[in-house]
């Protein structure tokens, strides 16, 4: 490995370590509240990757929606559904855990094999920061490479989810 | 920047993805399963952004795909949590193996 | 003479009418409808007979007339099945016989079947039978004959099984149907063989004496006999089945389970002589092309006749005695045909056979109807329950006596003339056969008078109630038939029905006649001795010849032999293995599939657990597997 480690690389390895470690912890810890907390760290690190890729807008969205919104939702629902929030999760049969672990490891192995042997060609970061103006134009336009229709669709989806969530969760 | 290849990022996202799969397979708590799904979605989001950035730098498809995916996953989480809370109200439990009671 | 069509069609219309709306009619109305329609039919056939025998003679020969004929199924230029009416002396004679007996039976049944359940159904079936039988005798071609032949079989089946709540009747109807069907199989094969080689179904062409027609069958032989012999022998097999010839006679005694008038009509006078009629119809074919088969006919007839006469001597069921008597008399007719020649005086046997058919139909119908009256009076078929009835049933007694004398062959009753001519023809053909037949005739006289004495004389067996004479509707047919029996012998039959359609002057052969009358008188004398009063001789004879008596009583174990063959040999040897194969191999395969799929379903039911995580696991593993396969294989 090259000994001249740049700042970018340092940041990446830090983020990668956080993601890997906390992903695994998320799915292995036996306390559900910790699990949610570790997920929060993974999401933060993901946002960091977006920033590093110079998709600052995406990173901001990730932080506000995922880390800021969804995780709060999780924490609240965990607190709502568990009498003791730190209640330990039910232990599974070892054979099932083992089978899941084996499947996951095999999947990682095959995927990594594919990734590392596939020639991706020019694999350099390129382009630079995407200006927000461009994003706004693309979202609001109807031309080629413009996304007004998906934007509207997802607006309606969100509306439907709000109504659906209320309908489902309201007290009868 | 010079040393950071696409593969580095992909390895990270692959690990995240299969961590999610493992969680999905082995967890028995509905919320824990949902968290695992978040991991999977997140790793896919990263991949979209990565491919856009590394392979097709001039375009924004992957970027917007990630954007919309985040929106959709927010919706999904909201509705799923609503359902889970409703289940909890009904059977005082959110373990997967008890969901069969809902059939009755 | 197109009106002859109505002779056949009227009973059919009556059948349709009674079959469709019979339930709405009162029994009386249904009975009268059937009887009146048949009376019209009978009148028409008398007119036909008058018309035919007075006008159809050309150059001393009776012509064959076909007043109605149309092509029904036209398969090819050569192969077509026609339906029509053929009138020749024997057909006209049969029309008269059938309509007369049928009319008598219709009339008689009004009284006899009074109050029975299914009275309308009974009349519908009677009409159907009459229609089929008439269609059979006027058939223009052998295939039409076959069609009506089967219809006759069906209506016989229906009528034997008329009391369908009685298991014996159902069994008897099945037996009759299966045995005759078996024989008809031979008939059908014979028809197909004959028509395949001659290219025609038509009676007129087949019996024209044209030997060129059969040229195609020359030289082709199978198992030592020529094809024509096989064909006509198989046709005779069909006739033997219907006419209850040995060894296919087993159904007829059992058929007595049907109502007695039905026995009189079908199983004594008309249907059972269909076989005789068939041979007579194809007589030129037999005589010219297959004389060896004609000998077979004679031998079968003689064996049947003797066998049935012996069995009849020991039966105690009045109707069974008459049934075996019928078999025996049909044997006589067959012998008559078998020994007959074709031309001129050689054709005595043919003429005699037809004459006997005619007289026998009358007196045997009379006997059966008389038996019906007796059964009506004492409510039993068993002779042991009868005795001394002559005081209670005077009309029945007298008419029955007339019929007994006729069948015994005492002049001047009709049976004497016809039977005597058969014997004369037989002696002319072969003295040995003649003596056998004379002996049989003696036996006939014996068993008939045994029956007569045991029913009407002897000591009166304690009856539960006083027997009473039958009502008028039953006695009138008895008297009419007795009158016919008295005078029928003087009909100059040879003028009308002969083998070559020319006139034939009957000379009584006095040597044969006196001998047979003597034999008959002796037999009657013995019967008088044995059965008129109390006598221990029959019992002593039965004990001293126990084996013979038991054998005869059990019909020489022929039925048991059939049961053995069918139940033990065919069922065990063929049916059981086939059934086993069906059950274990054919069904087994299917059951195996079912069991296999059920087992598999049970074992894979676990996959379909509803556990989402399990599904995902499987999907993941599958995806990985496919990936590995795509990558490395």
> What would the pLDDT profile of C29-55 be if each residue is shown by its tens digit?
888 888 899 899 999 888 888 888 888
Cβ-contact C408, C520 below 8 angstroms: yes
Residue C157 has pLDDT above 70, yes or no: yes
Which residues of chain B lie closer than 8 angstroms to A78, CB-CB? Answer: 31
- Percentages helix, strand, coil for chain C (3-state, rounded to 5) are 75, 5, 20
Per DSSP, the three-state class of B29 is: strand
DSSP codes, C138-193: T-SBHHHHHHHHHHHHHHHHHHHTTSTTSHHHHHHHHHHHHHHHHHHHHHHHHHHH
- The residues, any chain, with a CB within 8 Å of residue B88's CB and separated by 6 or more, are A80, A81, B94
Chain A touching partners, 3 or more CB pairs below 8 A: B, C
Choose the CATH number for A7-91 among 3.30.390.10, 3.40.190.10, 1.20.120.1200, 1.20.120.420. 1.20.120.1200
Q: What CA–CA distance (Å, rounded) separates C319 from C262?
A: 12
Q: Name the residue of chain A whose CA is nearest to C627's CA.
A: A110
Kindly report the average pLDDT of chain C as a whole number: 83
pLDDT tens track for C317-356: 888 888 888 898 888 888 888 888 777 677 788 888 888 8
Percent of chain A scoring above 70 in pLDDT: 87
User: Nearest Cα to A73, choosing from B85, B28, B41?
Assistant: B85
Length of chain B: 104
Chain C touching partners, 3 or more CB pairs below 8 A: A, B
Mean pLDDT value of segment C295-308: 89
- pTM, rounded to two decimals: 0.66
- The residues, any chain, with a CB within 8 Å of residue C338's CB and separated by 6 or more, are C294, C295, C296, C297, C298, C299, C300, C301, C349
Q: Given CB atoms, is B100 within the 8 Å cutoff of chain C?
A: yes
Ramachandran angles phi, psi of C115, nearest 5°: 80, 5
A99/C624 Cβ within 8 A: no
A6/B12 Cβ within 8 A: no
User: Nearest Cα to C358, choosing from C428, C293, C280, C297?
Assistant: C280
Q: What CA–CA distance (Å, rounded) separates C592 from C583?
A: 12
For every one of its 172 residues, what pLDDT tens digit does chain A have, with 9 covering 90 and above? 455 668 888 899 999 999 999 999 999 888 888 899 999 999 999 999 999 888 889 999 999 988 888 999 899 888 888 765 455 666 667 888 888 889 899 999 999 988 888 887 765 666 678 888 888 888 888 888 888 999 999 999 999 998 988 888 777 6
pLDDT tens track for C525-562: 888 887 777 777 777 777 777 777 777 777 777 777 77
Which of A8, A46, A53 comes nearest B42 by C-beta?
A46
B54/A126 Cβ within 8 A: yes
Residue B2 has pLDDT above 60, yes or no: no
Q: Given CB atoms, is C611 within the 8 Å cutoff of chain B?
A: yes
Q: What CA–CA distance (Å, rounded) separates C129 from C265?
A: 9
**Residue B70: how many CB atoms within 10 A of its CB?**
22
Using CB atoms within 10 Å of the CB of residue B29, give its burial: 0 to 12 exposed, 13 to 18 middle, 19+ buried: buried
Of these ranges, B97-101, C299-303, C543-547, the one predicted with the greatest mean pLDDT is C299-303
**Residue C131: how many CB atoms within 10 A of its CB?**
26
Q: C595 CA to chain B: closest CA distance, Å?
A: 30
Q: List helix spans (H) across C199-342.
A: 203-206, 227-242, 251-254, 260-264, 274-281, 283-289, 291-312, 318-338
**Residue C217: how many CB atoms within 10 A of its CB?**
21
* C546-553 vs C537-544: helix crossing angle, rounded to 10: 100
Which of A74, A105, A127 comes nearest B35 by C-beta?
A74
Q: Given CB atoms, is B25 within the 8 Å cutoff of chain C?
A: yes
3-state secondary structure C17-84: HHHHHHHHCCHHHHHHHHHHHHHHHHHHHHHHHHHHHHHCEECCEECCEEEEEEEEEECCCCCEEEEE
Cβ-contact B70, A61 below 8 angstroms: yes
Which residues of chain C lie closer than 8 angstroms to A106, CB-CB? Answer: 624
Q: Given CB atoms, is B32 within the 8 Å cutoff of chain C?
A: no
Which of B14, B27, B75 comes nearest A115 by C-beta?
B14
Q: Given CB atoms, is B1 within the 8 Å cutoff of chain C?
A: no
Terminal-to-terminal C-alpha distance of chain C: 93
Percent of chain A scoring above 90 in pLDDT: 31
Task: Look up tokens 């568990």; give the residue.
Answer: A82
ipTM of this complex: 0.89
Interface test with A, best of C615, C618, C619, C620 (most A CBs within 10 A): C620
Percent of chain C scoring above 70 in pLDDT: 94
Which residues of chain B lie closer than 8 angstroms to C611, CB-CB? Answer: 96
B96/C613 Cβ within 8 A: yes
B17/A32 Cβ within 8 A: no
Torsion sign across C-alpha atoms C157, C163, C164, C167: negative
Q: Name the residue of chain C whose CA is nearest to B27's CA.
A: C613
A103/C621 Cβ within 8 A: yes
C613/B24 Cβ within 8 A: yes
């Amino acid at each position: 490995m090259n000994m001249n480690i740049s700042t970018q690389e340092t940041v990446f390895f830090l983020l990668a370590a956080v993601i890997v470690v906390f992903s695994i912890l998320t799915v292995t810890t036996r306390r559900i509240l910790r699990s949610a907390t570790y997920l929060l760290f993974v999401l933060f690190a993901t946002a960091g990757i977006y920033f590093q890729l110079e998709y600052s807008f995406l990173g901001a969205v990730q932080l506000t929606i995922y880390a800021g919104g969804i995780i709060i939702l999780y924490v609240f629902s965990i607190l709502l559904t568990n009498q003791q929030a730190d209640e330990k999760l039910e232990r599974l049969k070892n054979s099932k855990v083992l089978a899941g672990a084996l499947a996951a490891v095999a999947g990682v192995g095959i995927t990594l094999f594919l990734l590392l042997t596939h020639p991706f060609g020019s694999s350099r970061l390129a382009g630079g920061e995407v200006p927000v103006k461009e994003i706004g134009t693309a979202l609001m336009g109807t031309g080629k490479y413009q996304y007004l229709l998906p934007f509207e669709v997802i607006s309606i989806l969100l509306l439907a989810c709000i109504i659906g969530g209320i309908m489902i969760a309201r007290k009868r | 920047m010079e040393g950071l290849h696409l593969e580095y990022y992909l390895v990270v996202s692959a690990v995240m993805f299969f961590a999610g799969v493992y969680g999905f397979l082995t967890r028995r708590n509905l919320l824990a399963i949902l968290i695992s799904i978040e991991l999977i979605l997140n790793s896919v989001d990263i991949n979209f952004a990565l491919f856009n950035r590394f392979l097709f730098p001039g375009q924004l498809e992957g970027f917007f795909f990630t954007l919309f995916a985040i929106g959709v996953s927010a919706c999904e989480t909201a509705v799923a949590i609503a359902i889970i809370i409703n289940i909890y109200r009904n059977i005082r439990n959110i373990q997967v193996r008890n969901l069969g009671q809902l059939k009755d | 003479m197109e009106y002859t069509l109505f002779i056949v069609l009227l009973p059919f219309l009556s059948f349709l009418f009674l079959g469709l709306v019979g339930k709405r009619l009162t029994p009386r109305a249904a009975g009268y409808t059937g009887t009146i329609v048949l009376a019209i039919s009978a009148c028409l056939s008398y007119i036909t007979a008058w018309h035919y025998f007075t006008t159809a003679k050309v150059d001393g020969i009776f012509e064959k007339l076909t007043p109605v004929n149309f092509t029904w199924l036209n398969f090819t230029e050569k192969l077509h099945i026609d339906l029509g009416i053929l009138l020749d002396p024997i057909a006209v004679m049969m029309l008269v016989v059938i309509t007369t007996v049928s009319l008598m039976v219709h009339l008689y049944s009004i009284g006899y079947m009074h109050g029975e359940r299914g009275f309308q159904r009974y009349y519908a079936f009677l009409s159907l039978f009459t229609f089929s039988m008439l269609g059979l005798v006027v058939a223009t071609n052998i295939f039409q004959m076959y069609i009506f032949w089967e219809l006759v079989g069906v209506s016989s089946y229906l009528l034997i099984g008329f009391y369908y709540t009685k298991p014996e009747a159902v069994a008897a109807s099945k037996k009759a149907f299966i045995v005759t069907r078996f024989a008809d199989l031979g008939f059908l094969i014979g028809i197909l063989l004959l028509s395949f080689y001659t290219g025609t179904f038509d009676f007129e062409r087949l019996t024209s004496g044209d030997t060129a027609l059969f040229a195609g069958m020359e030289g082709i032989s199978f198992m030592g006999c020529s094809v024509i012999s096989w064909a006509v022998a198989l046709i005779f097999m069909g006739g033997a089945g219907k006419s209850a010839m040995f060894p296919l006679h087993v159904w007829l005694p059992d058929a007595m389970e049907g109502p007695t008038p039905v026995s009189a009509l079908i199983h004594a006078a008309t249907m059972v002589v269909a076989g005789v009629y068939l041979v007579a119809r194809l007589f030129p074919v037999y005589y010219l092309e297959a004389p060896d088969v004609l000998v077979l006919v004679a031998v079968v007839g003689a064996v049947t006749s003797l066998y049935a006469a012996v069995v009849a001597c020991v039966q105690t069921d009045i109707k069974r005695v008459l049934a075996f008597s019928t078999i025996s008399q049909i044997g006589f007719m067959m012998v008559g045909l078998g020994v007959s020649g074709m031309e001129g005086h050689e054709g005595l046997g043919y003429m005699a056979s037809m004459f006997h058919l005619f007289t026998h139909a009358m007196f045997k119908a009379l006997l059966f109807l008389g038996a019906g009256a007796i059964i009506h009076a004492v409510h039993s078929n068993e002779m042991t329950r009868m005795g001394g009835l002559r005081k209670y049933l005077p009309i029945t007694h007298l008419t029955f006596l007339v019929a007994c004398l006729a069948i015994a062959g005492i002049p001047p009753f009709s049976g004497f003339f016809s039977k005597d001519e058969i014997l004369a023809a037989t002696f002319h053909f072969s003295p040995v056969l003649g003596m056998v037949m004379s002996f049989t005739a003696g036996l006939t006289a014996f068993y008939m008078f045994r029956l007569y004495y045991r029913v009407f004389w002897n000591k009166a067996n304690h009856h539960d109630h006083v027997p009473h004479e039958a009502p008028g509707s039953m006695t009138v047919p008895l008297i009419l038939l007795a009158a016919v029996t008295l005078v029928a012998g003087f009909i100059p039959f040879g003028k009308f029905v002969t083998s070559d359609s020319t006139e034939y002057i009957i000379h009584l052969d006095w040597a044969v006649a006196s001998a047979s009358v003597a034999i008959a008188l002796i037999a009657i004398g013995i019967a008088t001795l044995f059965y008129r009063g109390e006598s221990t001789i029959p019992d002593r004879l039965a004990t001293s010849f126990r084996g013979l008596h038991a054998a005869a009583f059990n019909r020489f174990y022929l039925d048991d032999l059939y049961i053995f063959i069918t139940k033990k040999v065919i069922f065990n040897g063929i049916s059981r293995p086939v059934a086993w194969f069906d059950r274990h191999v054919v069904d087994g395969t299917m059951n195996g599939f079912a069991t296999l799929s059920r087992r598999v379903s049970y074992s894979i039911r676990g996959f379909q657990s509803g556990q989402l995580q399990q599904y995902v696991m499987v999907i993941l593993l599958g995806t990985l597997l496919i990936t590995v396969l795509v990558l490395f294989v």
